[in-house]
Amino acid sequence: MVRTAVVGATGYAGAELVRLLVAHPNVNLTVATSEKDAGHPLGDVHRYLAPFGLSLVKADVAAIAADADFAFVALPHGASTPVVSGLVDAGLRVVDLGADFRFSDRDLYESWYGTHAAPGLLQAAVYGLTEYARDRVAGAQLVANPGCYPTGALMALLPLGGSIASPVFVDSKSGTSGAGRAGKTEQIFAEVTENIRPYGTWKHRHQPEIESTLANLGEADVRVRFSPHLLPIARGLLSSCYVQFDRPVDLAKRFADAYASEQFVAVLPEGEVPEPRNVRGTNRVEIGFAYDRDENCATVISAIDNLGKGAAGQAIQNFNCMLGLPEHTGLQLTAALP
């Protein structure tokens, strides 16, 4: 049993981590933190987690290090860095779900997020898109869990490497839990229901994360134009990637080669379409595609749960990988109705 901490347990990703970790056979969840609700049971914030009797404490590095050997950190970007640095120094292994350690290029990070407080750790962190990094993840002390949008887009695009003509258009549609639990007027029910809201078109911080990961994996010349949309659903993420190729491509073969042995990835037969409902609550990815020989272009669509493969699910997949456990340990395979 691994003594485990969830730092930032009351946000949606943190709460989903708790939901999964309490049922993980190798985990002893010893610490759950919240700055705002420290001193209260987690069940006071999320009553569906009340049966597990966890109490919230403030995120004190020494205290966490005393009680845990592994930490999941689910804090806002910027807030992660000092906590993660401290925990790494104290010898813990860490999966950070924020953006702070997702860029190996400090300048690129700082041009989108501002000054980085621990740039020395950027090179040490492994970008944990598990299917593409499991060997490095296995040996890492610090894994940077990919963003939800990059996960969806990269799982769709990476098998196409070497043939993509720039630019790629990524049109993503996300559930509101991706925007966090803060009370903002633009997020209240009456502002979200019966609508779809584009936001941050081409200016979202996940655009450079997608581009730089493509570059790190060999696609240095591909520009991505990323258009996210807010859906009136709580969780779920669909990404439609519009790709022009510079040579004919056999998409069925590409996806089969990439994912035939991946337990979390379902490549659908041509004509079937991915839907977030099919992966809700799981770490699964559905991928579908249509290819046009005349125009030599494709639509590739992926569906994930933004809190699953897009956050807590992949974090646990990385945890399993780091500990040498089967990757599906503690991860449910079946979705459920909403």
Phi then psi for 93, rounded to 5 degrees? Answer: -90, 145
Residues in the interface with its own copies (CB under 8 A) total 83
Q: Using the rule CB under 8 A, is 252 a contact of its own copies?
A: no
Chain positions 150 to 179 lying near its own copies, rule: CB under 8 A, are: 166-167, 169, 171, 173, 175-177
- For the chain, how many residues are written? 338
> If you ran DSSP here, which 8-state letter would residue 91 be given?
T
Span from 58-66, 84-92, 121-129, 222-230 in contact with its own copies (CB under 8 A)? 222-230
Q: Using the rule CB under 8 A, is 338 a contact of its own copies?
A: yes
Give the pairing of strands 126-127 and 142-144: parallel
Q: Using the rule CB under 8 A, is 107 a contact of its own copies?
A: no
Tokens of 128: 């944990």
The amino acid occupying position 330 is G
Spatial CA neighbour of 312 closest among 154, 151, 172 = 151
- Taking the C-alpha atoms of residue 177 and residue 186, their distance in angstroms, rounded to an integer, is 13
Q: Using the rule CB under 8 A, is 112 a contact of its own copies?
A: no
Active site residue 321: no
Q: What is the dihedral of CA 161, 244, 265, 219, to 10 degrees?
A: 20
Bridge partner list, 287: 267, 302
Count of Cβ atoms closer than 10 Å to residue 217 Cβ: 16
Bridge partner list, 266: 286
- Taking the C-alpha atoms of residue 138 and residue 133, their distance in angstroms, rounded to an integer, is 9
Which of 188, 220, 252, 256 is close enough to bind its own copies by CB under 8 A? 188
Spatial CA neighbour of 84 closest among 55, 124, 115 = 124
Which of 8, 14, 152, 236 is close enough to bind its own copies by CB under 8 A? 236
Which of 240, 283, 314, 317 is close enough to bind its own copies by CB under 8 A? 240
Q: Which is nearer to its own copies, 114 or 202 (CB)?
A: 202
Spatial CA neighbour of 244 closest among 199, 292, 200 = 292
Which of 186, 221, 246, 250 is close enough to bind its own copies by CB under 8 A? 186
Q: Which is nearer to its own copies, 121 or 300 (CB)?
A: 300
Catalytic residue among 148, 241, 297, 321: 148
Tokens of 13: 């990703």
Q: Using the rule CB under 8 A, is 91 a contact of its own copies?
A: no
Q: Which is nearer to its own copies, 213 or 227 (CB)?
A: 227
Q: Which is nearer to its own copies, 115 or 334 (CB)?
A: 334
Chain positions 23 to 42 lying near its own copies, rule: CB under 8 A, are: 23
- Taking the C-alpha atoms of residue 324 and residue 38, their distance in angstroms, rounded to an integer, is 33
Q: Using the rule CB under 8 A, is 225 a contact of its own copies?
A: yes
Contact mark string toward its own copies, 280..309, x via CB under 8 A: xx--x-x-x-x-x-xx-x-x-x-----x--
Q: How far is the CB of 334 from its own copies (least distance, A)?
A: 5
Q: Using the rule CB under 8 A, is 94 a contact of its own copies?
A: no
Q: Which is nearer to its own copies, 127 or 149 (CB)?
A: 149
| Catalytic residue numbers, as ranges | 148
